[in-house]
Each structure stands twice: as C-alpha cells, then as structure tokens.
Amino acid sequence: MDCLKPHGLKTDLYELTMAQVYLERGKTKRAVFSLYVRKLPEVRNFLVAGGVKRVLDLIGEFKFSKDQLRYLKSLKLFKDWFLDWLEQFEFRGNIYAIPDGRIVFEEEPILQVEADLPSAQILETFVMNIVHLETLLNSKAARIYAVAGGKTLVDFGYRRAHGFEAGNAAAKAALTCGWNATSNLEAGMLYNLPISGTMAHSYVMVFGEEEAFREFYRHYPQNAVYLIDTYDVLEAAKLVVGLSKEGYKPLGVRIDSGDIPELVVEVRRLLDTEGLKDVKIIVSGGVDEYKIAEWRGLPIDGFGVGTRYVTSADKPYLDIAYKLVEYAGEPKFKLSEGKKTYPFKKQVFRFYSNGRMDYDFVTLYGEEAEGEPLVELVLREGKPVKDLGDWRVARERFLSDFERLPEGLKGLEKVPYEVQIDARLEPENYLSKPQGE
Amino acid sequence: MDCLKPHGLKTDLYELTMAQVYLERGKTKRAVFSLYVRKLPEVRNFLVAGGVKRVLDLIGEFKFSKDQLRYLKSLKLFKDWFLDWLEQFEFRGNIYAIPDGRIVFEEEPILQVEADLPSAQILETFVMNIVHLETLLNSKAARIYAVAGGKTLVDFGYRRAHGFEAGNAAAKAALTCGWNATSNLEAGMLYNLPISGTMAHSYVMVFGEEEAFREFYRHYPQNAVYLIDTYDVLEAAKLVVGLSKEGYKPLGVRIDSGDIPELVVEVRRLLDTEGLKDVKIIVSGGVDEYKIAEWRGLPIDGFGVGTRYVTSADKPYLDIAYKLVEYAGEPKFKLSEGKKTYPFKKQVFRFYSNGRMDYDFVTLYGEEAEGEPLVELVLREGKPVKDLGDWRVARERFLSDFERLPEGLKGLEKVPYEVQIDARLEPENYLSKPQGE
C-alpha cells in the first residue's frame, strides 16, 4: 500500500512555507486552532464526532524521516535550519476534543489544537482529514441507524469506498453508530468488528441455485443466507422452502435487485405460509436511509448497505474548518460573509430537559456552567491524558447520546437544534483591536 | 497509519466463504470476471480509466500473513486445508485491461481477471476498490479540465478527501488529467508531482496583511501568491499595488470567498490600471466545474479546486461491477432488469472519423476489427507483461484521447456516445443453455 510513514508529509505545501516564516520572524507564541463544522448540511440534523482517537493514535508519528526531509530540500523552498526544525519535530502541545461517538452540531469545536503557532499550523491538513472523514461517516451511519428503527444493518461498502483506508473507517463508523456487522475483513481484524456475509451472484451462477444453496448450508449451517435474485426471486423462494423441508433451512434470504416492495411481500407470504416465519429477509443494492424510510412497514428484517453509505453519497463532505481563534492571548477571527469565525478556545455545555437534549451553549473554555461539558483535554504537552477507548466505547457514547436526542432530529426532515453562542465570543466585540497585530 | 500489509484481507467475508466451497467442490476451472461501469452517471459524458497500474503494483502483495490467517481461523468458518491454500496464495492468472488515462464508456471492461475461479473471485473487492476510486477521480478531474479551457488548475483537496489514500489518489488523478499542480506534499513525494501552494488566512491574521505579504515575498520571491480576502479584498488589492511598486510584486493574488464575479473584475481592473497586467488572479473556495463554467469569461487565471473535486461531490461513486462472464468456457450472464450482463472476455474497438472518436464496438476478445483495440493483456500468469508507466504516461494517453473526444462531450450537458455491443454477446443467445451447470 502506498501510505507513507511517518506522517509529517500528510500536509499541504503552504503549512510548511508559512511555518518557516513564523519561525524566522519569531511568531512562535501560543496559538489555538479550532476544528469544527461551520454549518450542518441540509441533509443532516446532527453530526457524530469522530477521528479524535485516531488523531491521538497517530500524532506521535507526525514526524519527518530523512527521505522526506531530502524530498523537501529538493523543492528549494526551505532553509537548512528549518529542515533541522522539522527533523526534531514532535508535537508537544495540547489537544482539547469532543470524544468519538458524541453527537455534535455546528460551531462546536470537535478538536482544538493549542501549541506554538508553527506546530499548530503544520497539523492542519492531518487533523482535518482524519476528523472530517470519521465525522462524515459517523454522521451518515447514525442517520441510517436512526431511520432503520432497530432493523439489522450490515456494512457492505468496502469495494466502493474511496480507498481501503476509507472503507476501514466506514466499517468502524458503522459499528460505532449502532450497526450490527461489516463484511470487510481487513476492518474486522484491525478493529475487532463483528463480521458478516452471504454469497454473490457469481457463486449462484457457477453452481446453479439449488446446489449453490445446499453447498453453502453444508459448509456454513450457522451462517447461511441465500441470495435469491439471480434469476427469478419467487422461484428461488420456492426452492428455499423445498430445501428447508430437507433440512437446509437458512437464517435468511437476500434480495439485491428488482421491485423490492412487491418482492418482499410475496416472499414473506410464501415463507410464512410454509412455516418459515423465522427465515429473515435481507435487502441490499442501492440501500440508503431514503430507501429504508420509503420501505418502512414492509417485511424486511435487515439491510446490506454499501456504496451510498460509505461515500456519504447525499453529502460527501462537511463544511469543516480549522481556524486560528487565538494567538498570543489575543482573539483571532474572520468576518467574511458565511465564514465568520468566533475567537478563543471554547467549551460546549449541553442542557437537557426531561431526559432529552434541549440546547447547547458554546462559551469560553474554563467557564463554569450548569450543563454537561463536552470538550475534554485529551492530549497534554504531547502526551495522551487518558485512553479514549475503542469503537465499543464510542458506541456507548453514541447510543447514550442518541437516546437523549430529540425525536424530531432522528427523521429525514430538517429539524434545527439550538446552539447558543456566548455573546462574549462575538467577533464584533473585538473589532476595535487591530487584527493585524 | 492503519493500513495492513499484505493485502489479502482487503476483501469481503463472502469472497473467502465462497472460495472455500469452490475449492472443496472442484469448481476451479478457468473463470473470467469483468470490471466495468454499467451506466455512466447523468453528470458524466465520459470516464477516464484508472487504477490498473496500481492493481499491478500491489497484486504481488495480495497474500495472507500468519497473523491474518490466525484471524481468519478465529472466525471459525474456515478449514485448515483452506487456510493452507490461502497461505500459499499468490495470483497467477491473467489480467486484461484498458490502461490508466484512456477515455472509456459504459459496458467497456476496464479490467478483466482470468484465472481459476477461486483466485479470480477473492480479488473482487481489492480490484474494484482500486479501479473504482481512480476511475472516479480521473473522470471528475477530466470533466473539470474540460470546462477550465486551459486555465491553471491546482488540487487543494487533501484535507477533505476521504482519507489520506484517497487524497493521494486525487492528487495523482488531477495531474493525470491535465491539471497543473497539487498542494499535497505526500502525493508530491510519492508520485513526483508538481507542488504548489499559497498562504492561509491564519497566516495573514497573525502578521497583518502588509507584513504577511512582504514576509512571504522575502522568503519565496519566485512563488508568492498573496491571499487577499481575509478582510477587504479591494483594500488588499490596493496594498498589493503599493507593495509591487516597492519591489514585492507577486506572481498572483488569491481570492477564497465573497462575490467572485464582482471581485475579480474590480481587482483585475485595479491591477491593470496600475501596470500589473501579469499578476494572476487565482480563485478558490467551493470551486468545481459548475462554478468554472458559470465564471467563464471572467478575468480568472486559475483555480484552486479542493473538496468538490476530491470527493467527486456531484456523484461520489460509479455504478461499477465485477461480474462473472465466463466459467469453464461457458458464457455467464445475468438478466436482471437494469443489471443485465454480457458474457465472455471482451475487446473494445474504437473507431474514429475526421480525427475524432466516432463510436466504440465491444466484441469478443480475440476478434479482429478495423478499429483501435483498447484492451491489452497486462498481466500474464501473475507477471506484468510490460511497464504501464507512471502518471506522466497516463497523462499522455489522456491528453491524446481528450484531443480526439467529440467537442460536445466536453461540456456539462449530457451528450451520449455510441457504444455498440456485438450481437454475439447478447445474453439472449445463450438462454437455451441452462445457466446453472
């Protein structure tokens, strides 16, 4: 695989050209950058934080090897003293974050980096890429989970994810956000995820349906799900009935194409009539939350969800930003239309009412409030403060937040959630101070 | 980075459960699988093949380590003899492909795998993921290139790509399809790509505009592009004029927000009036082919294109499939509505008229025709037949095809291209033969 280690080059050129100027001009005081989503997509009512654990796992390897430094030297932009600085680099600053699995909204800082300015600047691309991908996937997985109403959800997306790395992230995000399993073996091993799978059309075509099902059962009696849409779904369903009577009764059948509402009703009726009420019907092929909602009420027990999930197809990116909010103790902000930023390091307090999330309040970090604080110090002077736990822990956070999420936000229609911003964060307060100094 | 080597686990569970049954039941005759796009998206008039070289580069590492075999054993689905088979596995079959950079259309096999059935089956997820991602990105990059009409294009997308792997793939795809540079340093080193970059708002906020620009010029006089939208674009443009008179004349200015049509006209007028006709105007922030088309005729010299490119935002996946088309010399196909497949190993011939592509003809592999054959044998019995070359070679293929692409297909409106399918490939011809045998 062409992924390079260490991770220092996971950056854009300008991070390093700027850092060289910062260092040469003594702009090395404490800076705070905030990584947050400026605006929720129209098609998301909430986000689920992700990537924080991965940032902490990998940040110790955000360094530059001799080969990488030689490459940078070849660009003829960097001075030897700066390449020496990169060679010595390890991140020794602080990170404040909202842990993986927590439900978050716009303007809430998922990750805040506090360090000398050059160190905090050169992390930009690295932390954005990780947090963006995992938050994007968690949020999509959670939206699908919210609509599925307890039906089984299995990630089938590895083959059409944007690379293996994204496929593995998607498998982990699915399990973080309430799904049941993934078909992705690499992710299964990497993260110890529950694994699931059925059979392909090619397999059915090679054996013919009857032999295909029989052989599969013989090999995997505990795991047999028969794919019944290679030729004629109802004929195949009748075959399943016959085989079940001979002892080859599967856990379920999968339908991957055709007129789903019509087919599942007929197949269910046939199976029920023949005493196969416990044989599940699994649907795959172009499934996403919109299809799942459209098919609500139909006799479908579970979904194989692939491409549209792993690519977050209805919105494949978030309006995420990594913005300088404080330098040398001074507020930093931008006033541009649609891109206004609030200065200072922040805390988010969440307020509940009758066991449900009521509103969030974004304020200065260090302030006290009645609500539940979401932001934690997770890395102090380059060292992890505590173990954030694996996907199972993130899943507990997610399920606990999801239970307290207002019901309206769980649907597909746009429903807003109130995020109050402390008036003291309004950039207008600081306009008298010249920004450039 | 959490990417595992070797690559054998880059697969879905069912590939291995099916392979075990194939082996036990002697279904090990020669199979051909075809990887192709069933239908072009509404928002693509052509695709650009990608991923073939990467498949060839990585396929020798499609193996299973002891640790991975131990993991598979722990799933309690596989027998020891099958795990032994996996331990010995290396791909020794043939691959036929359309090389990276060639323009392709629906039903054209970008990659065909020919091997004993179990070997060809277990590659599915691996080859699909690679070819899907690179073809998706090439096709999006080429569409943007087609609309940009020779203006400079720089990939700014690393931070919001779906993982670092996808970001690196996007940088390579951009350069393959006619772009000028990328800001991504890791891809720059990995693939030896031209690198470019400017400065961030944070940098301008720390120094203030005047000092920020001056310092940047002092450090990078050959590469200075000033970011002029942190506060007031026109004020900043006036500052650029003043600095240029003092000798700090940049290559260009970048505008990342605001009312672009209005701003670029005013900035251009100001720069021209002041004798700075050669100072370029670069626009970034939410740029894609739709914006570029909308802004046609405006005085913009180049674009920084990020998120919407690297995520292929208007269509983040292709309807790509890996289908069994032949087994033991017999045709294999599927008749399902919208998912019909054509049997047999295929060749594609391209016909030209007046120097432009006229139509393509998909036929049996091994047939002769007057047109230009697109499919080549690239891997014979597990060994590369020839070096396909790096992105520069793929870029030559792309630019050469692009020159011969009908003009209508280069725009944003849907224009079809004729792909004829040889009547001998029609599955209806083979319906008399039972499919299941």
Cα(A418)–Cα(A415) distance, integer angstroms:
10
Q: Residues A421, A318: contact at Cβ < 8 Å?
A: no
Residue A437 has pLDDT above 70, yes or no: no
ipTM at complex level? 0.97
Mean pLDDT is highest, among A76-85, B327-336, B338-347, for: A76-85
Residue B29 has pLDDT above 50, yes or no: yes
Does B339 sit within 8 Å of A3, measured CB to CB? no
Instruction: Suggest the residue from B202, B228, B288, B309 to mutate for an interface test with chain A (most A CBs closer than 10 A).
Output: B202
Domains in chain A and their CATH numbers?
13-137+318-430 (3.20.140.10), 144-310 (3.20.20.70)
Residue B436 has pLDDT above 50, yes or no: no
The tokens for A342 are 């609030």
pTM value surpassing 0.95: yes
* Contacts with B72 from chain A: Cβ below 8 Å: 185
Burial status of residue A88 (CB atoms within 10 A of its CB: 0-12, 13-18, 19 or more):
exposed
Cα(B83)–Cα(B10) distance, integer angstroms:
16
Give the mean pLDDT of chain B: 96
For residue A222, the distance in angstroms to the closest alpha carbon of chain B comes to: 10
* Nearest C-alpha neighbor of B4 from the set B60, B57, B53, B64: B64
The amino acid at residue A76 is K
* pLDDT tens-digit series, residues A94-137: 999 999 999 999 999 999 999 999 999 999 999 999 999 999 99
SS3 of residue B340 by DSSP: coil
Q: Quote the longest CA-to-CA distance of chain A.
A: 84
Cα(B110)–Cα(B323) distance, integer angstroms:
12
Q: Residues B94, B119: contact at Cβ < 8 Å?
A: no
Q: What are phi and psi of A324, to 5 degrees?
A: -70, 120
The tokens for B182 are 């990328």
**CA-based nearest residue in chain A for residue B126:** A159
**CA-based nearest residue in chain A for residue B227:** A14
Does B206 sit within 8 Å of A27, measured CB to CB? yes
Respond yes or no on whether the N-terminal peptide bond of residue B6 is cis (omega within 30° of 0). Answer: yes
Percent of all residues in chain B with a pLDDT value above 90, rounded to a whole number? 94
* Contacts with A16 from chain B: Cβ below 8 Å: 185
Q: Residues A158, A184: contact at Cβ < 8 Å?
A: yes
Does B195 sit within 8 Å of A75, measured CB to CB? yes
* pLDDT tens-digit series, residues A46-71: 999 999 999 999 999 999 999 999 99
Sign (positive/negative) of CA torsion B283, B285, B291, B294?
negative
As a whole number of Å, the end-to-end CA separation of chain A is 46
For residue A369, the distance in angstroms to the closest alpha carbon of chain B comes to: 30
Cα(A89)–Cα(A83) distance, integer angstroms:
10
* pLDDT tens-digit series, residues B220-234: 999 999 999 999 999
The amino acid at residue B409 is L
Does A128 sit within 8 Å of B159, measured CB to CB? yes
* Contacts with A435 from chain B: Cβ below 8 Å: 205, 208, 231
Radius of gyration of chain A (CA): 25
* Sheet with A356-364: strands ordered across: A372-373, A346-353, A356-364, A419-421
* Nearest C-alpha neighbor of B46 from the set B58, B56, B54, B37: B37
Q: How many residues are listed for chain A in this entry?
A: 437
Q: Predicted confidence band at A274 (pLDDT cuts at 50, 70, 90)?
A: very high
| DSSP conformational letter for A340 | -
Does B166 sit within 8 Å of A219, measured CB to CB? no
The amino acid at residue A129 is N
CA angle (B315, A168, B171) in 5-degree steps: 50
The tokens for A202 are 């090619």
Nearest to B168 among A2, A12, A16 (CB): A2
Q: How far is CA B323 from CA A25, B77, B123, B136, B326, in A?
A: 60, 25, 12, 19, 9
Instruction: Suggest the residue from B124, B159, B262, B335 to mutate for an interface test with chain A (most A CBs closer than 10 A).
Output: B159
Instruction: Return the bridge partners of A153, or none.
Output: A303
| Average of per-residue pLDDT across B353-374 | 96
